[in-house]
Amino acid sequence: RKEVEQDPGPFNVPEGATVAFNCTYSNSASQSFFWYRQDCRKEPKLLMSVYSSGNEDGRFTAQLNRASQYISLLIRDSKLSDSATYLCVVNPGNNRKLIWGLGTSLAVNP
Amino acid sequence: GAVVSQHPSRVICKSGTSVKIECRSLDFQATTMFWYRQFPKQSLMLMATSNEGSKATYEQGVEKDKFLINHASLTLSTLTVTSAHPEDSSFYICSATPGNVGETQYFGPGTRLLVL
């Protein structure tokens, strides 16, 4: 089993739709989690950190389910500008480096 | 806050030459910086972890003599691609963390290298 797994997509949704991505991780001792966004030919940018109580920032909501070892990202009222690759990142703890998922591609269509 | 710069943004060079890429944390000190490579339509691949004042830690399959990393200060790490070949053409991205290794990373804008 991969340490961090994401559905690569692509997810094609119309503007205004709600879309959700899941990301599973294998190490139950993982300490913290992040969602990054990467646009084509650009560097990844931090979208949000994921806390045990969940985290909401405008149209974006991230949730953590430790029992099932997954994190989710929900995007409401999708915009064309949300089209990007969304990367799930896990901090395994013990001062080890972050583990990156391969990303989920989202295309929001007019 | 947490701004990382990278220079140059784009470089074209002849096969056999060496190319140096700089990564700077502008508003924070970064004990640890990371160097990634990304080929078109592929995921990020971690090349090495750069630690200030000590030798870099390279990922399996990455040649340390080909990709020289120097992390001379808490705000600067450099990656030198020595004797570059066309297969080294890629998007090289650095990141830095103001905290421990497993904490949030902030990325530079990347360097697009084309070796002719």
DSSP string, chain B: ---EEEE-SEEEE-TT--EEEEEEESSS--SEEEEEEE-TTS--EEEEEEETTS--EEPTT--TTTEEEEEEETTEEEEEE-S--GGG-EEEEEEEESS-TTS--EE---EEEEE-
User: What is the rounded CA–CA span in Å between residue A54 and residue A62?
Assistant: 6
A97 → closest Cβ in B49, B91, B93: B49
Using DSSP bridges, classify how beta strands B45-51 and B10-13 pair: parallel, antiparallel or unpaired.
unpaired
A93 → closest Cβ in B34, B102, B107: B102
What does the block give as tokens for A19?
Answer: 């879309």
Q: Cβ A43–B43 below 8 Å, yes or no? A: no
| pLDDT above 90: percentage of residues in chain B | 74
Query: What pLDDT is recorded for position B12?
Result: 96
- A chain contacts of residue B104, beta-carbon cutoff 8 Å: 34, 46, 49
Tell me the pLDDT of chain B averaged across its residues: 92
Single-letter amino acid code for the residue at A56: E
User: What is the rounded CA–CA span in Å between residue B44 and residue A67?
Assistant: 28
Q: How confident is the model at residue B90 (pLDDT cuts 50, 70, 90)?
A: very high
Q: Cβ A92–B102 below 8 Å, yes or no? A: yes
CA-based nearest distance A19→chain B, Å? 22
Q: Cβ B100–A103 below 8 Å, yes or no? A: no
Query: What pLDDT is recorded for position B101?
Result: 67
**Which residues are paired to B51 by β-bridges?**
B32
Q: Cβ A96–B102 below 8 Å, yes or no? A: yes
pLDDT at A43 over 90: yes
